[in-house]
Structure 1
Amino acid sequence: MRLLLIRHGQTLSNVAGLLDTAHPGPGLTELGTRQAAQIPVALANDIVGRIYVSTLLRTHLTAAPLAADRGCDAIELPGIHEIEAGSLEGNSDRASLRQYLETAFAWGLGNLDVVMPGSTDGHAFFDRFDADIARVAADHDAGGVAGSFAARTVVVFSHGAAIRVWVAGRASNVAPSFAGEHEIDNTGMVALEGNPRDGWVLLSWQGTPVGGTDLVDAPAEDPTGVRLSDS
């Protein structure tokens, strides 16, 4: 199965540099809407089996153009939402952002007992994200498309830190530090191949928006898309 993980489009919290992980979360900026509109164009040559979104509004809005283009509904999953910021929620100071990222990427490096202040640990994060990806794989196989090149691609719209930490912990062909060292902008796309049983191989990491660098908002203070060394 080819798994595409796409980060949602830009929100006002991304622009302001806020840790904003609560439900239902903000909608998209005008730029975020334009970023989302480019996704069907970028995936024009891909035959997508299913489209999934998190429980947060911004993934629904980002997925909407692709779902409309493919004539299907996006399926909401309960566990692929952003890593909860706990007592750091709503903060934008450098110390809070660094603590958030260092905690999250400790999980990606295998230190699952580390606790996000006022929230959960890495075990809880991987349990929920893995469970949803297992459901995606089961849906794929149950739909009769296992091994079919024509419909082997599924698209999951998720969040910056969540995508990066899950890839850090689950991609077998790159070092766990890879995700922390590579940015992922709004509507950046990560492609993997595999399944929950045999594991996952990272195929590509497109850190910029799928529509290209013209859709990058360089001045934005986006807290969950930057390299750990830049936080």
Structure 2
Amino acid sequence: MRLLLIRHGETFSNLRRLLDTALPGAALTPLGLRQAAALPAALAGEDVDALYVSTLVRTQQTAAPLAAARGLEPLVRGGLRELSAGDLELRGDDAAAELYMRTAFAWSAGDTGLRMPGGENGVEALARLDAVMAEAAGSGAGTVAMVSHGAAIRMWTAARAENVDVPFAAAHPLDNTAVVVLEGTPEEGWKALSWMGAPIGGPVRADHRADSPAGRPVTPPPVGPPPVSPPPGAAGLD
């Protein structure tokens, strides 16, 4: 099975750098809606047979243009929701972001018993994500697109893809509407083919971000002060 893991478009919580993981979650910004509208063209070369989304509103908004363009009914699955922030929910400070991602990548590295403060542990998080992957693989679909969340995609891929490790996933945050492409099955394992348009294990083109609708904004963002840079590994986490 070919698996397209797509991070949702930009949200209002993203602008404030908040750990927004609870239902229903923030909606897409105007730029996020334009990013979502660009997905059908960005994925024009993919024969998508099934489309899955999480229970958070931002993934459903992101998937809507693709669903309309392909005549697909999005399948809503709670297993694709963002990693629960627990006691860190709606915090936007560097310490919270660092603890959140450190815990997530500990799960990828095998410390699945570790629990997010007030939230889920790695066994629970991986089990729910694995269940959706298994459902999709069992459906017989050749190519499946799943609109999920930055930390969930990075954590699961680092844990399950044979050629993506924690240092790589930690060093490569996902832009909004960026795509990670994998091939495989739950039984045979998974191999990542590309990360935000850059081939895994191959040369990285200087312009690879153009392959993602989020790589270059569809229209210029509003003029304003430059965004505050997040701590290493914290960007693209919800």
Normalised to the residue count of structure 1, the TM-score between the two structures is: 0.88
Give the structure 2 partner of residue 136 of structure 1.
Answer: 136
Q: Return the match for 2:233 from 214, 227, 230.
A: 227
Q: Return the match for 1:214 from 174, 193, 216.
A: 216
Deviation readout 1:28-57 (Å, 9 max, x if unpaired): 000000100111001112111111000110
Give the structure 2 partner of residue 26 of structure 1.
Answer: 26
Deviation readout 1:35-82 (Å, 9 max, x if unpaired): 001110011121111110001100000000000000121111120100
Contact 1:9 / 1:28 at 8 angstroms: preserved in 2? yes
Of the structure 1 ranges 6-15 and 198-207, higher mean CA displacement relative to structure 2 is found in 198-207
Q: 1:221 to 1:54 in 2, by over 3 A?
A: farther
3-state SS of 1:4 partner: strand
Normalised to the residue count of structure 2, the TM-score between the two structures is: 0.86
Query: Is 2:163 aligned against 1:173?
Result: yes
- Structure 1 gaps of 5+ residues are 146-151
Query: Is 2:169 aligned against 1:161?
Result: no
For residues 59 and 104 of structure 1, the distance between their equivalents in structure 2, rounded to whole angstroms, comes to 20
Q: 1:64 to 1:222 in 2, by over 3 A?
A: farther
Q: 1:210 to 1:5 in 2, by over 3 A?
A: same
Q: 1:121 to 1:86 in 2, by over 3 A?
A: same
Query: Is 2:67 aligned against 1:67?
Result: yes
Contact 1:35 / 1:211 at 8 angstroms: preserved in 2? yes
Deviation readout 1:127-174 (Å, 9 max, x if unpaired): 1100111011111x2xxx5xxxxxx21100000000000000000123
Superposition CA RMSD, Å: 2.4
3-state SS of 1:103 partner: helix
For residues 80 and 213 of structure 1, the distance between their equivalents in structure 2, rounded to whole angstroms, comes to 23
3-state SS of 1:214 partner: coil
- The percent of aligned pairs where both chains have the same amino acid is 49
For residues 194 and 97 of structure 2, the distance between their equivalents in structure 1, rounded to whole angstroms, comes to 26
**Matched letter for residue 166 of structure 1:** W
